[in-house]
Structure 1
Amino acid sequence: MPELTEAVQLTDPLGPQTLEPVPNPGCEICQVLGRQREAARAVGDGSVVSDCNVEIRQHPHPRKAARR
């Protein structure tokens, strides 16, 4: 039988030190996701809060060109 060792402690790359994504003010999709996130938070549904954060974070927006 193999010898037991201590549990491995994994870190969460998006742990509590990471701020939530901010919905883009000019994007209706981001605004809807932000409202859904707040409604989910109000009823304690952390799963939907997390899902909304992922969607906001991954929702594409054109990047502004860098100024020279």
Structure 2
Amino acid sequence: MPRMCRPVHLGEPESEPVPVAGCDVCGALAEQRAKAHAAGDKSKATDCNVEMRRHSHPKAVRV
């Protein structure tokens, strides 16, 4: 019986997000991510990356 599933093609992994300068939330997440990397906790580091990407920043008010 032939296989019915298609092969999976994965792209290059995304680079880690860069924290926005002056943002306390991004700074805290970057610090947690660094500690997770140091401890070998890739799951926690990935969680921090996801939170950092989803974190919204207020748009600059134009005058």
TM-score category, normalised to shorter length? 0.7 to 0.9
Q: Considering only aligned residues, what root-mean-square deviation do their CA atoms show, in Å?
A: 2.2
- Give the deviation of 1:4 after TM superposition: 4.2
Tell me which amino acid in the other structure corresponds to 1:11.
Answer: L
Identity %: 42
More helix by share: 2
Question: What 5-or-longer segments of structure 1 have no aligned partner?
Answer: none
Count of residue pairs the alignment pairs up: 61
1:1-68 aligned within 5 A: 3-5=1-3, 8-11=7-10, 15-16=12-13, 18-64=14-60
Normalising by structure 1, we get a TM-score of 0.73
Normalising by structure 2, we get a TM-score of 0.77
- Give the deviation of 1:64 after TM superposition: 4.0
After TM superposition, which residue ranges in structure 1, 4 or more long, deviate above 2 angstroms? 62-65
Structure 1: how far apart are the matches of 2:47 and 2:2?
36
